[in-house]
Structure 1
Amino acid sequence: MTSILTNAAAMAALQTLRAIDNNMETTQRRVSSGYRVETAADNAAYWSIATTMRSDNSSLSTVSDALGLGAATVDTAYTALDNVINVLSEIKAKLVAAREPGVDKAKINAEMTELKNQLVSTTQSASFSGQNWLYNTDPTAPGTKQVVSSFVRAADGTVQVTTLDFDTSQSVLVDTVDAARGILTRDVDADLLTASPSGVARNYFLLDVGSTSPATGTEIKIDGTTTDAVMDDMISVVSDLLEQLTNSASTLGAITKRIDMQEQFVSNLMDVIDKGVGRLVDADMNEESTRLKALQTQQQLGIQALSIANTNAQNILTLFK
């Protein structure tokens, strides 16, 4: 039946053209934005996952910055500590040289005094971003310093910030409040460093920085009256200090290595998360471009079909001629 009131062909063509236009709008939006899932309306589940992971990635970026700050702090402390070890080795060499008969101990002591000043200067300079792990002026004891290492999201959705911890009480060399808290300012019992301790303490300390609670032993310095036995004790004490500093430097070196590994891991993890999010929400531009071309062709055909359907109604006029 042919009707001039109801053009079924035109209605069908129009419905098809509307569907094609909707599909083309979606495809064009994907091409322009680069996203297959741009809003929650596109795919609520994927959008939710992608939004959460992008937030976590932003947190990991902050962690990476914190690791860089921590690495700089540790490197500063390690560099200064390495210099202190070298200077302390020089002091030990001076003491050994002073042990030889006939040397001018006063001149050697003058050289040692300058080396001690260098030790104090080095520890004071080992500061980064307001933190100094070698030189303490705080009335409270040096505590554990933390370096943010990672941001972790558990399977149940809870989040946690993990840290790398370092006990600075093992690295403080100079303490201006309590000399006993500084490796170079505290008393060291030379008697305990011998093969057969006598039980009678012979305490020595290397640096006198005017601590509020000073060391009570004998400062390591020499003159013409210094006996060979005292010289031997001083050499033993300096050797023990060198061993302690070497252990501290080893610990800092291990932390530096750990931070470097964590930085690399966080960087790789951020890349992996980006790839994972991309697989969920990014548009395949090859596929979308092909679909867009096909939809453009369908649109042209739909317009042509609608034009033909509208023309059919006009053909009825020929029946009345």
Structure 2
Amino acid sequence: MASIMTNASALTALQSLSATNKSLEQTQARISTGYRVSQASDNAAYWSIATTMRSDNSALSTVQDALGLGASKVDAAYTGITNVLTTIGQIKTKVLSMVGQTDAAKAKTQTEIKALQTQMKSFADAATFSGSNFLAVTSKQVTSANDGVQPDSQIVSSFNRSSSGAVSIGTININVEGTKLFDYGLAAEVKNQGVLDRQTSIYSTGAAQTLYDNAYAGVIAGGGTDIAANTAGQTAAGAVTKVDNISAYNLDITAPGVTDGIITQMVTMMD
């Protein structure tokens, strides 16, 4: 029953105005957020999907940043290795030129070699980006003597979500133990030194050197320590003139016992 206080036209206008205002608020919300579904009340199912997609998109952006950071770390290592290889080539040339030369000439050249060795180490030490260095490291003992190794460096490379909603993350693993050139860990703790500071024996004949190198490499390939590899190599080479504890970083053509034959094998070691 209509009341004398009721104005039907006014009620209709009020309802229309209310609907218009609600529509205006919804439109303004869409404009301000850029989303047709910006909250659960708009459409619960679509809102849930959109929220997950926005979260995944943010994660993918993080992965992209991680890949960029990883690439910079690898670039730093690549530049360092390139410079080191160039320096090794220069050392090799100087060592080779000293076969048959006088002690005075060797002493002069050794001074130049020492400067190059220092430079070589500087290149490795400088290959650092965001606190990571794949060339110069410090390994520490874990549970027993000579078990210190470098763990792989992981770079996040992918983010995936399965149809069931399960999330998985992919990584690129860099074998730092295999790329290291110098390891500053204590000798009693480190399993294997770096490529350039690993001290081995140099023999006066190519045949003995080959026997030593093959036995040494076999032990290393089997997961053995530098100490075990050196022992196996010396056993295989037999009683042939040699000098011990030689590395690319510390080789000295003026050291006692270094003959022209050993200098020749030093060149082979740097190949």
TM-score, normalised on structure 1? Answer: 0.60
1:187–1:204 Cα contact (<8 Å) kept: yes
SS of 1:150's equivalent? Answer: strand
Q: Which residue of 2 aligns with 1:75?
A: 75
Q: Which residue of 2 aligns with 1:185?
A: 197
> After TM superposition, what 4+ stretches of structure 1 lie above 6 angstroms from structure 2?
3-14
1:204–1:237 Cα contact (<8 Å) kept: no
Give the Cα–Cα distance (whole angstroms) in 1 for the partners of residues 66 and 33 of structure 2. 33
Give the residue type in structure 1 aligned to 2:149: A
Q: Which residue of 1 aligns with 2:220?
A: none
- Structure number with the bigger relative contact order (C-alpha 8 A, sep ≥ 6) is 1
Give the residue type in structure 2 aligned to 1:181: Q
- Mapping of 1:41-190 within 5 angstroms? 41-99=41-99, 101=101, 104-139=105-140, 140-176=148-184, 177-178=186-187, 180-188=192-200
| Count of aligned residue pairs for this structure pair | 226
Give the residue type in structure 2 aligned to 1:164: I
Q: Which residue of 2 aligns with 1:34?
A: 34
Give the residue type in structure 1 aligned to 2:246: F
Give the Cα–Cα distance (whole angstroms) in 1 for the partners of residues 17 and 101 of structure 2. 109
Give the Cα–Cα distance (whole angstroms) in 2 for the partners of residues 143 and 18 of structure 1. 66
1:99–1:231 Cα contact (<8 Å) kept: yes
SS of 1:104's equivalent? Answer: helix
1:204–1:234 Cα contact (<8 Å) kept: no
Q: Which residue of 1 aligns with 2:267?
A: 235
1:188–1:237 Cα contact (<8 Å) kept: no
For residues 121-141 of structure 1, give each alpha carbon's deviation from its aligned partner in whole angstroms, at most 9, with x where no partner exists: 222222223322212223231
Give the Cα–Cα distance (whole angstroms) in 2 for the partners of residues 9 and 136 of structure 1. 85
Bigger radius of gyration among the two: 1
For residues 115-166 of structure 1, give each alpha carbon's deviation from its aligned partner in whole angstroms, at most 9, with x where no partner exists: 1111222222222233222122232311211111122211111112211101
**Closer/same/farther in 2, CA of residues 73 and 14 from structure 1, 3 Å limit:** closer
Q: Which runs of 5+ in 1 are unaligned?
A: 209-218, 240-321
Superposed displacement of residue 187, structure 1: 3.5
Bigger shift: 118-127 or 83-92? 118-127
**Closer/same/farther in 2, CA of residues 124 and 11 from structure 1, 3 Å limit:** closer
SS of 1:221's equivalent? Answer: coil
Flag the structure with higher helix content.
1
Give the Cα–Cα distance (whole angstroms) in 2 for the partners of residues 53 and 206 of structure 1. 55
2:124–2:136 Cα contact (<8 Å) kept: yes
Instruction: Give yes or no for the alignment of 1:220 onto 2:218.
Output: no
**Closer/same/farther in 2, CA of residues 98 and 25 from structure 1, 3 Å limit:** same
**Closer/same/farther in 2, CA of residues 141 and 67 from structure 1, 3 Å limit:** same
Superposed displacement of residue 112, structure 1: 0.6
Q: Which residue of 2 aligns with 1:206?
A: 247
For residues 184-208 of structure 1, give each alpha carbon's deviation from its aligned partner in whole angstroms, at most 9, with x where no partner exists: 12234656x9578454165663256
Give the Cα–Cα distance (whole angstroms) in 2 for the partners of residues 27 and 91 of structure 1. 74
Give the Cα–Cα distance (whole angstroms) in 2 for the partners of residues 40 and 122 of structure 1. 57
TM-score, normalised on structure 2? Answer: 0.70
**Closer/same/farther in 2, CA of residues 46 and 104 from structure 1, 3 Å limit:** same
**Closer/same/farther in 2, CA of residues 54 and 104 from structure 1, 3 Å limit:** same
1:143–1:169 Cα contact (<8 Å) kept: yes
Q: Which residue of 2 aligns with 1:243?
A: none
Identity %: 41
Give the Cα–Cα distance (whole angstroms) in 2 for the partners of residues 32 and 111 of structure 1. 69
- Give the aligned CA root-mean-square deviation in angstroms: 3.2
- Mapping of 1:244-259 within 5 angstroms? none
2:201–2:246 Cα contact (<8 Å) kept: no
Give the Cα–Cα distance (whole angstroms) in 2 for the partners of residues 41 and 78 of structure 1. 54
SS of 2:237's equivalent? Answer: coil
Give the Cα–Cα distance (whole angstroms) in 2 for the partners of residues 154 and 232 of structure 1. 60
Give the Cα–Cα distance (whole angstroms) in 1 for the partners of residues 32 and 163 of structure 2. 35
